[in-house]
Amino acid sequence: MSPHPSPSFTDVVAARMSRRNVLLSGALAVAAAGLSASPASARVRTGTGPGGAGPDTAELGFTAVPAGDADAVTLPAGYTAQTLAPWGQPIRAGGPAWRKDGSGSAADQALQIGSHHSGTHFFPLHRGPEGSRRGMLVINHESADPALLHHDAGTGAPAGDRVAKELAAQGVSVLEVELTGRGSWRVLDSRRNARITGTSPVTFSGPVGADHPALRTGRPAAGTLSNSGYGVTPWGTYLACEENTNAWFGTADPSWQPTRTQRRYGLSANGHGKRWHEADPRFDLAVNGNEPHRYGWVVEIDPFAAHRTPVKRTALGRFNHSSAAVTESGGRAVVYGGDDQDGGYLYKFVGDGPWKAHRSRGRSPLDHGTLHVARFGEDGTGRWLPLSHGQGPLTTALGWRDQADVLLRAREAADALGATSLDRPQQITVGPNSRDVYCALANGTGGHHPGQGSGSPRDTNPYGHVVRWREEDGAGAHDGFSWDVVVLGGDQAQGEGVLPGAGTFGSPKGLTFDAAGRLWIQTGISNHAVSQADHKDLGNNAVLVVAPRGEVRRFLTAPRGAEVTAAVLTPDMRTMFVSIQHPGERTAAWGEPTPENPRAVSDWPDRDPAGRPRSATVVVRRTDGGVIGAR
């Protein structure tokens, strides 16, 4: 949460529009129209029909799935789901087999698909139709749940073994996959398959280079952690986003006190109760105060040569990266990212020259450019403020040593510039038929001070919403933009605090456009809230689709205890890869797993009475082979 008296999105939105106006601004007209469209002319509508007469329903060709709490992946009639890449599946033939009792070792896990599937993308291996039949599937692994990862929930295993397995379960999986003649997908036994874990070699590039004093600990840099969102570059690489990496650090040293920067980055003696510092001094804040500086970056990976050392691109700044949406402006790379915390900021990196020119000289386009942070105005406009050393308050006289220092302390730099705090920025995506950019805001209080509202058009914001902006130049290189709130989450049955016409969903986290302009929303309501109180009618987490003219339908619901963390399509839009994260995790509604009964909440996807739930990426297809979501 930002301690700086910067404006919150609550204050800005409240000044811009009344509750009634926000409802009317729910017109998405997603990628087909811009911010100039009259908000009153089209509202976001919830729908249940299969698509019939009239333009309002012609764009969606399925009957909406009702909200529900089944322990299953539920889809409309005419669709099927196939489990393709579950946690623990070996990445190569002959690799260590999945042990359903959780007794596998750290060495086993390092050769298996990781846990907590998150950001996911499909990279075609061929041009044309074959590109939708074979490619590289890249999957982030955001975390590790001791209650399910370990045979004994981590309570009895030697601490070093426990931590090693939790490190091996995180990172990224890279898998070659193909569509078979029978209409199902399979993971190939390919030399391209790879695992990147919390102990894999990594390097740094950009203003904060590998030899920077702030990164020195006396041991080689290793691993990527808490990989949540992602991005894809025009030159074909994958960007894994490190988020909430402060969770893994702590110390038992009673004399340790956090610095201002450590506090701003959420570091504390207890961390998030992970206790890694008890077994590995790498995560002990009193021993290695610089180790946290090695995390919180965007990590570039070549999906076609994933055995090459991943590179952390420091020009994009250090914070809880929830997304790295890449587009182009005049040939320059533009990268949008959000800081996933209550009161987090929205950032934009703009390259200093054409990315092709940088690449031709053997340089990364992501190492050369300027990072900016957003300030939203009450009049529906906004400015991108450069995080540049020597400009404004970011001077040596005010305690900023150089540009590397600004990027290492990007949150503090944004505080100093008076950026607008937001309600947990999540995935960002650029419309396929326009230059509009969309960001999911999950929920929260906006990180503002007491009495300032909640970072939402509503008095409180337990449900989240989607904000859209258009750059002044229409492409991303200029400093100005116009913005609006376009989709509101909510439970209409609750009435109070929920606007009529709001979508019946909560905590939007993932956003994906298909080539037809449909916006696919993935939700991640926290397990303490699923089916509870003001979320009781929303059911399990879900995938929803918003048609270009504004209708919203629920397409998929997830198993119990799970978030939906990705929904990505092949180029022909006939296959959707959906990642399901932490099914069976502790919930307020269904209890918690135990060593004696790891299936207390869920037994998806295996349905094995001697097994345990597993995060997985599933394949969704139509039984007739048609385009997903279409008529």
Q: Dump pLDDT digits (tens) for 113-169.
A: 999 999 999 999 999 999 999 999 999 999 999 999 999 988 876 689 999 999 999
pLDDT of residue 3: 60
Q: How confident is the model at residue 597 (pLDDT cuts 50, 70, 90)?
A: very high
pLDDT of residue 10: 62
pLDDT of residue 108: 98
pLDDT of residue 458: 60
| Closest by CA position to 230, among listed 582, 604, 577, 630 | 577
pLDDT of residue 69: 94
Angle at 188 between CA 184 and CA 191, to 5 degrees: 160
Q: Which of 8-12, 69-73, 126-130, 526-530 has the lowest mean pLDDT?
A: 8-12
Query: CA 500 to CA 552: how far, in whole Å?
Result: 14
Q: Is residue 347 predicted with pLDDT exceeding 50?
A: yes
Q: Which of 116-120, 376-380, 606-610 has the lowest mean pLDDT?
A: 376-380
| Closest by CA position to 123, among listed 18, 239, 269, 219 | 239
Burial 278-303 (b: 16+ CB within 10 A, else e): bbbebbbbbbbbebbbbbbbbbbbbb
Cβ(193)–Cβ(95) below 8 Å: no
Element holding 106 (H helix, E strand) = helix 106-109
Cβ(501)–Cβ(26) below 8 Å: yes
pLDDT of residue 495: 58
Q: Which of 177-191, 302-316, 483-497, 525-539 has the lowest mean pLDDT?
A: 483-497
Pairing of strands 465-471, 480-490: antiparallel
Query: CA 553 to CA 415: how far, in whole Å?
Result: 38
Q: Is residue 39 predicted with pLDDT exceeding 90?
A: no
Q: Is residue 324 predicted with pLDDT exceeding 60?
A: yes
The DSSP 8-state label assigned to residue 366 in this structure reads G
Q: Is residue 455 predicted with pLDDT exceeding 80?
A: no
- What does the pLDDT average to over 263-290? 95
**Cβ-based neighbours of 412, under 8 Å, separated by 6 or more:** 260, 261, 264
Q: How confident is the model at residue 361 (pLDDT cuts 50, 70, 90)?
A: very high
Q: Is residue 506 predicted with pLDDT exceeding 70?
A: yes
Average pLDDT for the chain: 89
| Pure H helices in 126-186 | 146-149, 159-169
- What does the pLDDT average to over 599-615? 98
Sign of the Cα pseudo-torsion (619, 620, 623, 626, in order) = negative
| Closest by CA position to 286, among listed 310, 247, 257, 306 | 257
Q: Is residue 612 predicted with pLDDT exceeding 90?
A: yes
Query: CA 562 to CA 589: how far, in whole Å?
Result: 12
pLDDT of residue 63: 95
Structural tokens at position 598: 């790891």
**Cβ-based neighbours of 50, under 8 Å, separated by 6 or more:** 61, 62, 63
Q: What is the DSSP track for 408-447?
A: HTHHHHHHHHTPPBEE-EEEEEE-TTSSEEEEEE--B-TT
Q: How confident is the model at residue 1 (pLDDT cuts 50, 70, 90)?
A: low
User: Residue 369: left if φ>0, alpha if ψ -120 to 50, beta else—which one?
Assistant: left
pLDDT of residue 32: 40
Q: How confident is the model at residue 83 (pLDDT cuts 50, 70, 90)?
A: very high
pLDDT of residue 503: 59
Structural tokens at position 561: 């205890």
Query: CA 1 to CA 446: how far, in whole Å?
Result: 8
3-state SS class at 316: helix
